[in-house]
Amino acid sequence: AQRVTQPEKLLSVFKGAPVELKCNYSYSGSPELFWYVQYSRQRLQLLLRHISRESIKGFTADLNKGETSFHLKKPFAQEEDSAMYYCALRGPTDSWGKLQFGAGTQVVVTP
């Protein structure tokens, strides 16, 4: 069964410190992987997708097919990075509007 696992419910880091959010998935195939973010009192929004291989707001994520992981990283956390982060996948045979989300990781960046 396909599954997205985010092992950390809460991640507390100091401003300027590196931050890494873990995401592991189980899927027999080649899914698309995404990171969505929800800032306080805002809507859930796309942060980045693995196919783009781009850096958004200083965040990058590398898809490791061998380890079936898609960890999100930022070298220097900022206070505005405090938010809820969700890892999500879409299977190649899934409808394009179907995402499977992990339980989320709450990131708190303290000054």
Partner 1 sequence: DAGVTQSPTHLIKTRGQHVTLRCSPISGHKSVSWYQQVLGQGPQFIFQYYEKEERGRGNFPDRFSARQFPNYSSELNVNALLLGDSALYLCASSATSGTRPRYEQYFGPGTRLTVT
The site for partner 1 (CB under 8 A) is made up of 4, 6, 32, 34, 43-46, 49, 86, 88, 90, 94-104
> Where do the DSSP E strands lie in 15-78?
19-21, 24-26, 32-38, 45-49, 60-64, 69-74
CB of 95 to partner 1, least distance (A): 3
CA–CA separation, 69 vs 49, rounded Å?
13
| 15 or 94: CB nearest partner 1 | 94
Residue 52 or 64: the one with the smaller Cβ distance to partner 1 is 52
Smaller CB separation from partner 1, 19 or 35: 35
Q: Tally Cβ neighbours within 10 Å of residue 34.
A: 23
